[in-house]
Amino acid sequence: MKTVYKSVLGVLLLLTACDNDLDQFPPNIASSDSLTDFEGVLNAAYYYQLGTVTPMAIMGEFRADNAFMFEPPFTEFDEYDNGLTAMEDQFFGPFYTALYRSILSVNNVIENSTDATEIGEAKFLRALSYFKLVQVFGDVTVNLSATPSLTDTSILVRQPASEVYDNVIIPDLQDAIAALDIEIMDGRASRLAAQSLLGKVYAFRGDYASAEPQLAAVVEGAEAAGISLIANFNEIFGAEFEVGNSEIIFSTQISSSITDEYTFGSDFWNWFVGDDSKSDFPVDQDLVAAFDASDANGGGIDLRRAVTLNDDGLTAIKFPKEGGLGPEHDWIEIRLADIILLYAETLNENGAPASTVLPLLDDIRARAGLNSLTGTVNTQAEVRQAILDERRLELAFEGHRWFDLVRTGAVDAEMGETINPNYHVFPIPVSEILATDGVITQNAGY
């Protein structure tokens, strides 16, 4: 059983659910003065992140141009209209529920624990949870209490995403950075993870001036924290490489010894290898073409292709199933290559010359068997596209692609069609709208 879950089962026995997802809280909160050890409650918050894994993988890859579905109504991921509401039971509902349960658990820790590190981890998890919610749904309900009112429906009203960033996500991450240690412990939040996430948050908002120092701190402080790029790309992924992996800054740990609350919540790898009839051959040939272009423009064969795709380019093997290890794959939330590329993007958007930005990509490209782009790409627009292309190939099937397209304003250009911005986000679960008598509202277009 992995470290972060060592006491989670006992805590889960205490958890209950009421009429809607915001009403779920441990019944012992009412007498929280008698609870002195909050480690189990914090571990429960980590555990609930499992329910976000497959939904984020599906949304990040199948909504974008890396993968597609064969079987209706799952084909709605490639049809930019109101049809995605049919996917609530398998994706959006479990995702929504898991995050608000995680939030309720961390609220308990934040309100009642006296351990500064526990509170720092809890604030990181709360920020991560709300960041995922905002990325996926836009405006969302905000609850910062361990004991939310069950009668005051006004607390359910969705808050503007900008206010969620300003009042919750950013302050929580700033507090987490101050509270957490640089050392990265197995499966737990660290200062580097909080700085990475804060940089991501600023970049997602287009605030590159604020993102730059946070991402610089991660890139420059990585070595001191024992973080570095893995020499061989094929040794980053797979359960056998997870212990002591120097590239992973934060991951949601998955273990077959812990039953996921939702039976499909953490089997993301299964969708990529084509083991679900809804998408037997999930790889979009546009991604294969992108690897072809990388070969042609990089002066070699992009070594990431053989790690990412099978020989015929129809299925994705980045998280291999062989040896029965599929259920053991951790979901990588943040790794160093992701942050280096995001830092390069930030410098470019802040006006740094190509000669300063492009060398940051060299180690990543050299690992992939490719030449440096320095001297071949010059304008800010060219560098911007080069970094977006690099992120696509480096991070394929890690759940980033759709959200990268949205935050960089590249959806229409990369998808090859004009897509109504209403469909840049996903539908609020209809069950939540009904359970609150419409206090929680639906996104426009759905």
Helix or strand (DSSP H, E) at 294: helix 285-298
pLDDT, tens only, 116-140: 999 999 999 999 999 999 999 999 9
Place of tokens 């480690």: 39
What whole-number distance in Å separates Cα of residue 357 and Cα of residue 338? Answer: 15
pTM of the model: 0.92
Per residue in 179-223, pLDDT tens? 999 988 878 999 999 999 999 999 999 999 999 999 999 999 999
At what angle are helices 191-204 and 116-137 packed, to 10 degrees?
Answer: 30
Q: Mean of the pLDDT values across residues 405-426?
A: 98
Average pLDDT (355-384) is 97
13: Cα within 13 Å, side-chain hemisphere: 3
> Average per-residue pLDDT in the chain?
90
Task: Tell me which residue of 382, 306, 439 sits closest to 22, measured CA to CA.
Answer: 439
Query: Rounded CA gap, 416 and 395, in Å?
Result: 21
Q: Is 35 a residue whose pLDDT tops 90?
A: no
Tell me the mean pLDDT in the region 268-292: 92
Q: Above pLDDT 90, what percent of the chain?
A: 79
> Higher-confidence residue: 170 or 265?
170
Residue 327: predicted pLDDT: 62
Question: How sure is the predictor about 240, in pLDDT bands with cuts at 50, 70 and 90?
Answer: confident
From CA 373, how far away is CA 361, in angstroms rounded? Answer: 8
pLDDT of residue 262: 56
Predicted local distance difference test score (pLDDT) of residue 28: 30
Beta pairing partners, 193:
none
Class of domain 3-282+323-333+394-435: mainly alpha
On the question of pLDDT at 326 being above 90, the answer is no
Cα(49)–Cα(63) distance, integer angstroms = 21
